[in-house]
Amino acid sequence: MADATFKFPKGFLWGTATAAHQVEGQNENNNWYAWENQAGRIHQGEKAGLACDWWNGRWKEDLANAAKDGQNAHRFSIEWSRIQPSANTWDEKAIEKYRTMIQGMHKLGLEPMVTLHHFTEPLWIYENGGWENPDTINHFTAFVRYAVDALKDLVTFWVTINEPAVYTVGGYLGGGFPPGKNDLGKAFIVLSNLVKGHAAAYSAIHNLQPNAQVGIAKQYRAMAPSRPWFPPDRWITRFSSASFNDAFMGAILDGNFRFSLRKESIPQAIGTQDFLGINYYSQDQIRFKPFAFNAVFQERHFLPDAQLSETGFIANVPEGMYAALKWAHQFNLPIYITENGVEDAQGTIRPAYLLAHLRKVWAATNSNWQVRGYFHWSQVDNFEWERGWSQRFGLWGIDPESQQRQRRPSATLYGAICKENAITADMVRKHAPEMLKELFPG
């Protein structure tokens, strides 16, 4: 078999992604801290605790490892509750700490991509109804103005909101996120307010920094009918994809927000996107169930022959990555894969998962789609929300008690890809030989 290479475009961003609450530690003034302190909310009652100890400076070690492995970018979030601990208080020391972190990234050669809302908000926001309360739109916009004004000389890429549909489904349709409600009407209000919050933040950022690049990080959940020949399966799949995948971006496209069976006009959202971040992990097969009212008349499962992650949380379906990029391509915007990864403490799945998904990313770039970067989730194991420490997504492992880091073989593979800006047959032969014929047929 002749050696071959899948070369990515010049200037492609290679990085990893993190979120403040999951890595900083000692976040004690936000909705997730309150949630962790309620019995039964987190896997085995675990808490973020020190997390990865980034607030005390361990980001330096983790990002130095990323840079040594050839990464040239990093996506992370800043914690609203640290910067604005109460309605009338701004913490200049917290914002200075973030400036130091971003300056450190620049010294390491890492382009920062900053997320302004990644599932957390201050307790004073949460206790006043969170995103159910329309006042949160103005409060969020004020926070965005303060943070962007303080950091705009160091940052070009801003993600306003991470995974708004996941936030909404998780918190308001029984998904295990705070505030733990199951109310379709409130879910509509929350997602609508997130659209309005994004639009207001977009305008605020561009008023302060005209050259900024602003987008959202949208989780695309690939969906396929379990029985393609059965019309109800096809219908419920289209309905679910429209609600989860299309609602937010539809509002940005034409100002018409449609979620479930309701709609609202949000004209201020039109065109408030300079790039689109795509978070892709897996694909669902959807089967219509006529009496499953609480499950929105459906049952979800993975393909029977799909390789599953350790807890069965993710199925390795790289075709879904291509579907996500094809979906994103319709908006005619630059595309960044802002998250993609798999839980894999033993390092047996991630090499093949990574290579197969990046092969689909390369195929999109080879079709001249505007895919300009890839951020792997994650650099180091971190606190995975309601799943606690039960899932290990890191290129590097971590013991949350000792804070010891352990390099996984997938870090070496990803490092080789980043340094070469390419996937080579030799990399596949070395790290996932079982993928050689699939990736390089003939």
Separation of alpha carbons 21 and 55, rounded Å: 10
The reported pLDDT for the residue numbered 56 is: 98
Structural domains for the chain? 12-406 (3.20.20.80)
Give 39: exposed, middle or buried? Use CB within 10 Å, 0-12, 13-18, 19+.
Answer: exposed
The reported pLDDT for the residue numbered 2 is: 55
Tokens 């201020």 identify what position? Answer: 268
Residue 192 and residue 257 in contact, taking contact as beta carbons nearer than 8 Å: yes
Give the DSSP letter of residue 242: I
Residue 321 and residue 363 in contact, taking contact as beta carbons nearer than 8 Å: no
The reported pLDDT for the residue numbered 291 is: 82
Tokens 């840079």 identify what position? Answer: 67
What value, to the nearest 5°, has the Cα angle with vertex 392 and ends 387 and 393? 105
Give the DSSP letter of residue 173: B
Report the helix count and the strand count for the chain, using DSSP H and E: 16, 17
Separation of alpha carbons 57 and 97, rounded Å: 10
Torsion of the alpha carbons at 134, 138, 141 and 146, rounded to the nearest 10: -140
DSSP string computed for 75-120: EEE--HHHH-SBTTB--HHHHHHHHHHHHHHHHHT-EEEEES-SS-
Give 158: exposed, middle or buried? Use CB within 10 Å, 0-12, 13-18, 19+.
Answer: buried
The reported pLDDT for the residue numbered 442 is: 73
- Whole-model pTM over 0.95: yes
pLDDT tens digit sequence for 281-319: 999 999 999 888 778 889 999 999 999 999 999 999 999
List the chain residues with pLDDT less than 50.
Answer: 1
DSSP string computed for 302-359: --TT--B-TTS--B--HHHHHHHHHHHHTT-S-EEEEE-----TTSSSHHHHHHHHHH
